[in-house]
Amino acid sequence: MKRILIILAALALAAPARGDVAGADAVARDIKWQIKNLGDDSAVLRDLAMQKVARYGMTAADALVRALTTAPPAALPHVRELLARLPLTSPDDPPEVAKALQNYSQLQASSRQETGYRLTALPIEKSAPALLRLIAYEPNEFVAWQLAVRMRPWVSKCRDMILAAHLPPRPATLRLLAWAKPDRAVERMEQAWALARERLKAGGDTESAGLLSLVTTELTTLYRQKKQYDIIETCWRQVADETKDPNAALNLLALLIEHNQPQRVEAEWKHCAGWLAGDPRALYLLARAAGARGDTQLERDFIATARSLAPHDAEQHLFVGTYLMQRRWLDLAAGEFQRVLDMVGADEGDRAFEVTARLRLADIHSHRRQPDKEAEQLDAAIHLYRVFEEKGGGAVITDQINNLKCRLLLLEASRHGKSGNLAAQEKALRETLKLTPNHPDAVIALVELLRKRGAAQEAAELVKSSSEHYRTRLAEQPDDAENHNNLAWLLANTETSLDEARKLSQKSLEIQPDTAAYLDTLAEVHLRLGQAARAVEFQKQAVELEPESLDLADRLKKFEAAAAKAKP
């Protein structure tokens, strides 16, 4: 214990002054209590630690969290050991929170994460203080970040508590503060980025590079909202150089392609070639750059080389296909997923790769408006899930099957609607709502049918019950972007409470910016409000994010026609 107290005293010397913690006596008492709980073999060292930490207005725990960034690498195991032993419980914890904490194991990251899951399952008003303690004093930066992300849906509800908590500065707590106070989000995330880089330069643990990439992704998302693309490029270049992380280098190359600078891609690739060698994702990026320059032969060569790598590794092709799909390069992604289907066998691991590939292909066919091919892949995926279910897959597998059945029923309803078979369409929609009550697209389509056949009262009741469902969920999780969007979409397409729909849609984009589906919703809301020009503006942004989506492109044409018609 002596060595740990020495470290604690030394850390206090390096700690920056903090003016936001008042009452040096209270701080000293807290430190004394912490050290007493940890065990003490030297009153002199204890007093030295107390004096030096209190001088900077910090608690012992604050100093230790700060040490995750400032301590030399050799001291880090001791710092983490001490942090893990800090008491997590509080006399003020409600009984259900105390119960959730009782199996907390300081020495196992998985146990600490599980404790976070148990806390977020409780009413957040009761569990938030304990969850904030868990995030603040988690010895592993990466785990702390994941716990902060778990808390995201409740940040608005806990804003005052977060801002008043005097959280020690670390990437995870700064992420919470950025969400809690959006007007200072860039400042907070720049601070988090600096801390993550400090830890990496100091020779941090193996997860330091991954954490820095996560922080950079969050920071550059904020820069993207301000269209500060030069700063984004600088950030990713610095991270790539410092971490030698292929993902950082790929983000840099993709940014150059996205902003029409394909001529620079090959030079940047050569600079990063040492850690991108043999990565098929890099070859696909080079192919896109060659195509943008008009060199179609070189584009084909790069694609052929990328596809020839790992010829018998289904997992690799699935991984690459998912990356390409995230970049919205659907043709290339479909080729990778088809390779997965071509090489999988009867092995259970192969079946897991197969079902994922089929679901990805179903999504691609949906984007391309190929309902028959989409249904074919969904049927095959359901068959595979049933095999998993028979082997004891549990409730998660059952939920997946129900979700896929809903997609098939919605395709069926759409097909019947186009053929004019309204009775069959209504039946398929009602079956969808039995499996997934309040599914927004099913509710909207059924409301339209009911209104057409004069059942206005039933339609109104359906809209009311479904909207109340989403309002209840938003009351529980006020920062859930998807629920904001779903309710906005429902209200807009049933022409109910359009002003509320606009506010909900704007909130979804505030929480999760640059999301094509959410921009599409906001465009629809403005169209319904009679603001077709604004609808065009937002839909163009959606199409820019997902240029291969036929639905988004067609809806843009619809909005443009409405805007042209509205002109005097």
203 CB-near residues (< 8 Å, 6+ apart)? 73
Element (DSSP H or E) covering residue 391: none
Give the integer Cα–Cα distance in Å for 567 and 516.
27
In the chain, % helix, strand, coil (3-state, to 5) comes to 80, 0, 20
474 CB-near residues (< 8 Å, 6+ apart)? 480, 483, 484, 487
CB–CB of 237/260 below 8 Å? Answer: no
Closest-CA residue to 139 (of 207, 187, 55, 41):
207
| pLDDT tier for residue 19 given thresholds of 50, 70 and 90 | very low
63 CB-near residues (< 8 Å, 6+ apart)? 8, 11, 12, 15, 53, 56
Closest-CA residue to 412 (of 389, 434, 431):
431
Please report the DSSP string for 73-86 in residue order: GGGHHHHHHHHHTS
| pLDDT tier for residue 16 given thresholds of 50, 70 and 90 | very low
Q: Would you state the CATH architecture of domain 477-568?
A: Alpha Horseshoe (1.25)
What is the C-alpha R_g of the chain? Answer: 27
Residues 36, 37, 41, CA angle at the centre, nearest 5°? 45
Q: Is the pLDDT of residue 547 over 80?
A: yes
Percent of the chain topping pLDDT 70: 82
- Say which residue, 111 or 280, is predicted with more confidence: 280
The pLDDT of residue 247 is 92
CA distances from 162 to 61, 91, 154, 210, 508 (A): 17, 20, 11, 26, 21
CB–CB of 287/306 below 8 Å? Answer: yes
The pLDDT of residue 403 is 92
212 CB-near residues (< 8 Å, 6+ apart)? 193, 196, 197, 199, 200, 239, 242, 243, 245
| pLDDT tier for residue 22 given thresholds of 50, 70 and 90 | very low
Residues 311, 314, 317, CA angle at the centre, nearest 5°? 75
Q: Is the pLDDT of residue 114 over 90?
A: no
**H helices present in 440-497, as ranges:** 440-452, 456-476, 481-493
Structure tokens at 74: 């050799």
Task: Give 276: exposed, middle or buried? Use CB within 10 Å, 0-12, 13-18, 19+.
Answer: buried
Least confident of 337-351, 451-465, 514-528: 337-351
Q: Is the pLDDT of residue 550 over 80?
A: yes
- Say which residue, 27 or 428, is predicted with more confidence: 428
The pLDDT of residue 75 is 64
Sketch the domain layout of the chain as residue ranges: 2-87, 477-568
Mean pLDDT of 527-556: 93
Matching residue, tokens 């019950």 = 465
Closest-CA residue to 61 (of 88, 39, 41, 40):
88
Least confident of 12-21, 266-275, 538-547, 550-559: 12-21
Amino acid at 4: I
67 CB-near residues (< 8 Å, 6+ apart)? 7, 11, 75, 76, 79
455 CB-near residues (< 8 Å, 6+ apart)? none
